[in-house]
Each structure stands twice: as structure tokens, then as C-alpha cells.
Amino acid sequence: MADARLISADSHFVEPPKMWAERLDRRFRDRAPHAVRLEGKPGEYFVCEDLAPAPVAAFFSAGVPPAEMPEFMKRGFDEAPKAVHDPAERIRDQDRDGVSAEVIYTSMGMPLFGLGDAEFRAACFRAFNDWATEYCSYDLKRLIPLGLITLEDIPAAVAELERIKRRGMVGAMIWGEAPAERPYSSPDYDPFWAAAQDLDMSLSLHILTGAKGTAGHASKVLNPNMRGVEFMTGVISMIHPIERSLTSLVIGGVFERFPRLKIVSAENDVAWIPFFLFRIDKYAARGIQSIKLPLKPSEYIKRQVYATFIDDPVFVNLLDWYPSDNIMWSSDYPHGQATFPRSQDYVARHLSKISEADRRKIVRDTAAKLYGLN
């Protein structure tokens, strides 16, 4: 793979913290997300109502050696690498890393899923969607933007999905897990699933994006003061909301009704999925579920669900259960756990056990097919 160009299926923007105050509807601007220096703490923090402060430098710390990280975390957004601000510089970093394109998710928009005011959250998401498409318009063949959609108001969500499709986005993030009183199996969402299917817009369930009341993991992971058992519990249990969402989509008949709907499990790794498929098939076969589906639950997952990983050495032993047609490598650039600037080395070392055909799908072809990249 030394000469092959990679596609990262999950990289990230780092939004200018002033962006929301500049782009939000005027009635929300005094509440806009922003960055501040906190008394007694080094560095700059992203803050907004309802949310724990998140260190800004963590969003652009790719490639920083661990020994240099404490000093690096004192930086503010104005001290970020040029590629954070300038899409031309970002493409130069892609070339440096042997990457031909990135599918790009929000950074600071992830905790905004936890905002309690749905109208305010929708306004923040619209502002992000406009900014992100303008950033990627520099080269939409190599900078592939994904939007943000909130689902309290389904007609408005459909309209926003249609709007961002026209602006050049190829998909959108929704709640990693919907509110308990209105799970994804609810028929309320059907017009939105239909629109996503007809527009060929994939929908991503990304780490740290649960609805209000289900987004507690974000505060545990993004809050630098959270440590020990509470922190580790949040990290280890991140996949559980995604398991519940996929179960709801399968057993609730959503995938049966909308066979061209595409869902992406983003940054949740992959190796847990084979065991999940085993369990969901086992219990469905025992007749525990009242709904009768024409296919096995696992067949819907393999037909309609994709998953990204950054560093997961386990799934390569389980491709018989969940194949390379569903799996997409991601660099996570420019976040701290990113493989940048050694992504080619990572692929050569960690995916060496699998066939050339599987490896090519995982690091390039599956993402290209899903997102219509040439």
C-alpha cells in the first residue's frame, strides 16, 4: 500500500470559536458558543450553556509528542496550525500524510448536541453547516463536508438536509442516540429517513453526540477535570448508545422500510460489531421480538451500516462476521489520537494481516463508494 492514497472517512474541522457569534441568528448571538481563558487554568476553553468547558488545543493536537502535550495545551485557537484555518494548508497536510481525501466532521459541534434548547441548537447547526461548506468549497474533491442536523422538528430537519445537500455536503450527523421517549424506531422519524434515502445522504452516529439526557459521555470525556473511574466508565461505555440505536433501527423495522438508508457508526471502532451481530441474531431467532422481519437483523446491518475506526487491531480477525465492504479507516486528523503524519505507516503495520483487496476497501474504496468519491 506504500503508493496507494488513503481516504480518511472520519477527520475533523476545528471551527473558529468566533464563528457562531458571527453567523448565528441575531437573537441567539449573546448565547453563542465561544472560547475563553479560565482563571487559574492554562489554555483556552470552548464554552456554551449546559456544557462543560473543553480545552481548545485538544482539537488540533495531531502529531504532538506526548512529552510536549502539557505545554501545547496552553495554546489558544489563534495559535493553531495553519491547516486549521486554511484549506490549502490542510491539503498540503493530506499530501504529507499520503491521504487523497477526508470526510470531515465537526469538532466543537459534537458537544453542542447536548444543548437543552432545541431551537438554539438548530441555529448553531445551521451556522456550522454554512461555515463548513464554505471551507470545503476550496476543493470538494478532497475536502468532503458532513453537516449537523437535530431532529426535534422533522419537517425542519428534512428542509435542512435538502439545503446542505445543495451546498455540497454528502451526509449529516444526527444524535448518536435519540431521546428515550422518542427512540429511532418511532414512526415520527420516517419522513426524515425517507428524505435521507432519496437524497443519498448518509447519516452518522458519532461518538459524543447523544441527545439531551443521553449525552453524559461527552462531559466525562471532554471535561479535563473528569478522571478516574467516572472518566473510564464514560470512555468504555461509549459504544452502548450506538448499539441501542442500531437495535432500534433494525428491530423497529426502519431498515426494512427504508432499504437504501445508510447509517455510519463513526469513531466507535469496529470489533464490537461482530459480537453485536451474533447477539441480535440469536435473540431474534428465539422469537423474543414481536416484529417479524424478512431478513436476519445482521443482514440489515451488513446492508446498511458502515463503521469507522482509528486504532482497532481486533476487527481484522473478524472480517467473516463484518466485512471490509462496511469498514472505513479514519485518520481523526487533526485531533490528538490522529495517525497524522504517519498514516501510511499505520496502515502498513496494523492492516498487514489482511488481504490486499480487503485492505484497499478499508482504507479507500468503501468510503469512496459510500460517499460517491471519484
Asked whether the predicted pLDDT for residue 215 surpasses 60, the reply is: no
Query: Using an 8 Å Cβ cutoff, are 363 and 1 in contact?
Result: yes
Mean pLDDT in residue range 211-234: 63
Asked whether the predicted pLDDT for residue 214 surpasses 60, the reply is: no
- 194-204 pLDDT per residue, tens: 999 999 999 99
- 127-180 pLDDT per residue, tens: 999 999 999 999 999 999 999 999 999 999 999 999 999 999 999 999 999 999
| Residue (of 75, 43, 103, 86) closest to 333 by Cα position | 103
Query: Using an 8 Å Cβ cutoff, are 159 and 150 in contact?
Result: no
Asked whether the predicted pLDDT for residue 68 surpasses 70, the reply is: yes
Mean pLDDT in residue range 32-55: 94
- Residues contacting 312, CB < 8 A, separation 6+: 269, 270, 271
Rounded to two decimals, the pTM is 0.95
What the block records as the C-alpha cell of 128 is 456550522
Mean pLDDT in residue range 212-234: 62
- In angstroms, the CA 200 to CA 155 distance is 18
What the block records as the C-alpha cell of 40 is 487559574
- 111-134 pLDDT per residue, tens: 999 999 999 999 999 999 999 999
Query: Residue 147: what residue type?
Result: G
Whole-number average pLDDT of the chain: 93
- In angstroms, the CA 280 to CA 80 distance is 44
- In angstroms, the CA 7 to CA 102 distance is 6
Give percent of the chain with pLDDT exceeding 90: 87
Question: Which residues are registered as beta bridge partners of 7?
Answer: 101
- 288-339 pLDDT per residue, tens: 657 789 999 999 999 999 999 999 999 999 999 999 999 999 999 999 999 9
The reported pLDDT for the residue numbered 102 is 98
Band of the pLDDT at 224, cuts 50, 70, 90?
Answer: low
Long-range contacts of 247-251 (CB under 8 A, 24+ apart): 247/280, 248/178, 248/183, 248/184, 248/185, 249/184, 249/185, 249/300, 250/280, 250/293, 250/297, 250/300, 250/301, 251/185, 251/280, 251/284, 251/289, 251/291, 251/293, 251/297
CB atoms within 10 A of CB 60: 25
**294: buried, middle or exposed (CB in 10 Å: 19+, 13-18, 0-12)?**
exposed
- In angstroms, the CA 293 to CA 284 distance is 9
| Residue (of 101, 112, 138) closest to 15 by Cα position | 112
- Which stretch of 15-19, 79-83, 216-220, 227-231 has the lowest confidence by average pLDDT? 216-220
Asked whether the predicted pLDDT for residue 3 surpasses 80, the reply is: no
The reported pLDDT for the residue numbered 2 is 45
Mean pLDDT in residue range 232-254: 93
DSSP string, 321-362: TS-GGGEEE---TTSTT--TT-HHHHHHHHTTTS-HHHHHII
Query: Residue 175: what residue type?
Result: W
Helix, strand, or coil (residue 176): coil
DSSP letter assigned to residue 210: P
Mean pLDDT in residue range 185-200: 98
